[in-house]
């Protein structure tokens, strides 16, 4: 078991609000959720552009996120080690989230390491410093499981460090989030999440999840293939909005294509009831000048868990900049907005 029984130190859960006004969980991101630096940078820009509005509206500050994150990572470490050293593992400057890795490591005052900076010896994790090897106790990893340890996972990975898994098993190192949490990112799990909460926690879910159907079930599949244009179809293993087909807006050709994919490999697809995402006034290019127009948004709050949970009093609001589009992912041309939480801390 990981220290404090915490598998997921950092969660970024995508929430959407439909036309019934109810917030629902759209997706869990509990492997290596990203985007928090955008939330922090957006706030910095807002503070520059309209400091007065911000100050007089009672907006809660979010700048303590890096300190909270470091506190959680350190709490995991102090379960086992006297003065734990924390480092952030990045794939390197070519990764699209490298800016965030730099930003967070700088804000937390910890080393930003690449796989080549690390070595495992005697089932312990070390980083190569100018004065020799230095122990690393807690690794905040921003690399997927597959690339983390070439001994156990992909042997061709240059991004990870050989022997890490053995060091974890020996209890000499901790990675956050723990290996295997990516299973919960698999979209097929969403069909079970409410039952998992009820069974394992004995609690009712606070927020409903967008209703999810597994296409590997022949009866479900037959029903959904009959009304394919009524559902959103997503590949279970993909992220970034890739491969998503929104039935009501899809062309006949797209529907025909996705039908072939589903019939060929039904386990790899889920169907969800489309949610008419709420809209937010957004500055867009007009015919003559920029104008405010409604654009669809979702919300990714960030939840940290160490000895205690810490929730960012803000979040990443993602916006689909194309008119009518429901795909907010930045890899699909989405933007982001500063997100305000008002009032005193609860």
The reply on whether position 114 binds other proteins by CB under 8 A is yes
In the complex, minimum distance from the CB of residue 235 to other proteins, in angstroms, rounded to a whole number = 33
Could you tell me where the DSSP H helices lie in the chain?
36-49, 51-56, 65-78, 98-108, 164-169, 193-196, 218-226, 252-264
The reply on whether position 111 binds other proteins by CB under 8 A is yes
List of E strands, 158-300: 174-176, 212-214, 232-235, 245-246, 269-272, 279-284, 291-300
Would you say 137 or 318 has its CB closer to other proteins?
Answer: 137
Would you say 85 or 272 has its CB closer to other proteins?
Answer: 85
CA atoms of 14 and 86, how far apart (whole Å)? 27
Binding mask 127-166 for other proteins (x = CB under 8 A): xxxxxxxx--------------------------------
In the complex, minimum distance from the CB of residue 2 to other proteins, in angstroms, rounded to a whole number = 26
Would you say 122 or 146 has its CB closer to other proteins?
Answer: 122
Stretch near other proteins under the rule CB under 8 A, chosen from 56-64, 99-107, 175-183, 328-336: 99-107
The reply on whether position 64 binds other proteins by CB under 8 A is no
Would you say 150 or 235 has its CB closer to other proteins?
Answer: 150
Q: Residue 311 in contact with residue 11, Cβ under 8 Å? A: no
CA dihedral 83, 86, 161, 132 (to 10 degrees): -60
Residue 236 vs residues 52, 264, 267: alpha-carbon distances, Å = 45, 14, 8
Task: Give the SS3 label for residue 209.
Answer: strand
Would you say 129 or 331 has its CB closer to other proteins?
Answer: 129
The reply on whether position 102 binds other proteins by CB under 8 A is yes
Footprint on this chain of other proteins (rule: CB under 8 A): 92-93, 102, 105-106, 111-114, 116-117, 119, 127-134
């Amino acid at each position: 078991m990981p220290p404090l029984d915490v598998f997921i130190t950092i969660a970024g859960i995508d929430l959407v609000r439909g036309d019934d006004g109810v917030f629902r969980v759209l997706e869990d991101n509990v492997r290596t959720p990203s985007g928090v630096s955008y939330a922090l940078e957006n706030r910095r820009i807002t503070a520059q552009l309209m400091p007065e509005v911000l100050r007089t509206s009672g907006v809660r500050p979010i700048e303590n996120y890096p300190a909270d994150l470091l506190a959680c990572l350190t709490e995991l470490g102090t379960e086992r080690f006297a003065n734990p050293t924390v480092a952030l593992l990045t794939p390197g400057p070519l990764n699209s989230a490298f800016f965030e890795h730099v930003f967070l490591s700088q804000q937390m005052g910890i080393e930003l390491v690449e796989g080549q900076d690390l070595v495992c010896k005697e089932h312990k994790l070390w980083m190569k410093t100018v004065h020799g090897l230095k122990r690393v106790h807690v690794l905040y990893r921003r690399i997927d499981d597959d690339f983390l340890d070439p001994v156990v996972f992909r042997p061709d990975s240059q991004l990870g460090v050989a022997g890490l898994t053995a060091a974890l098993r020996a209890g000499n190192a901790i990675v956050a989030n723990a290996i295997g949490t990516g299973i919960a990112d698999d979209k097929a799990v969403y069909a079970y999440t409410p039952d998992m909460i009820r069974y394992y926690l004995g609690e009712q879910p606070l927020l409903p999840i967008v209703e999810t159907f597994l296409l590997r079930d022949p009866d479900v599949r037959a029903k959904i293939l009959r009304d394919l244009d009524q559902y959103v179809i997503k590949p279970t293993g993909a992220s970034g909005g890739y491969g998503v087909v929104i039935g009501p807006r899809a062309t006949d050709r797209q529907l025909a294509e996705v039908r072939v994919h589903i019939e060929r490999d039904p386990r790899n697809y889920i169907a969800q009831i489309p949610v008419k995402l709420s809209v937010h006034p957004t500055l867009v290019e007009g015919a003559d000048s920029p104008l405010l127009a409604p654009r669809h948004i979702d919300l990714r709050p960030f939840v940290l868990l160490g000895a205690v949970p810490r929730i960012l009093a803000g979040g990443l609001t993602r916006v689909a900049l194309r008119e009518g589009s429901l795909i907010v992912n930045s890899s699909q041309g989405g933007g982001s907005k500063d997100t305000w939480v008002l009032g005193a801390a609860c």
